[in-house]
A = this chain, B = another copy of it.
Amino acid sequence: MKIDPIHILKDHDLKHTKQRVRVLEEIAMDSVAISQPELEKKLGKEIDRVTLYRILNAYEEKGILHKIMDMNGTANYAICSPSCSVDHHHDEHVHFNCTNCLKIYCLDVMIPKIKMPAGFTASTVNTTAYGICEKCSVLQSGN
């Protein structure tokens, strides 16, 4: 999927700064989600830690990125589908967290409807599968 940072920023009423563009570029680079620590490692020389936090938060709030927590409580970020907007994310797909390479994939698999017990009203449902991803699986078997 091609990404145009400048348009994305315009569309979401965010000023166009080189730090914001860099963050988007970096995240769009790979199709899998990227963690905050990885981003910091890659961009730490160009962008201040604090600024990175603020940009990621802004992107999440605006519906540009969605945040996926892994088993260690580390935040990972992936580009939202175009239907996401402020305070309404449409991140209704299953995530896959590889226990080997730790990458998080946004799968093209919908989250099944869950029947809630009486009294509980769910607005969003989050599903993450843990296991071995495509790449790691090939590497292990093919050796």
A contact residues vs B (CB 8 Å cutoff): 67, 69-71, 73-75, 94, 96, 99, 105, 107-109, 111-112, 114-134, 137-138
Contact = CB atoms under 8 A, between A and B. Distances in A.
Contacts of A134: 117-120
Given A105-B120, A107-B120, A109-B117, 5 more contacts: A94-B114, A111-B127, A123-B130, A123-B131, A125-B130
B129 A122 contact: yes
Contacts of A128: 125-126
Contact of A127 (B96, B107, B109, B114): B114
Nearest to A94: B114
B114 A122 contact: no
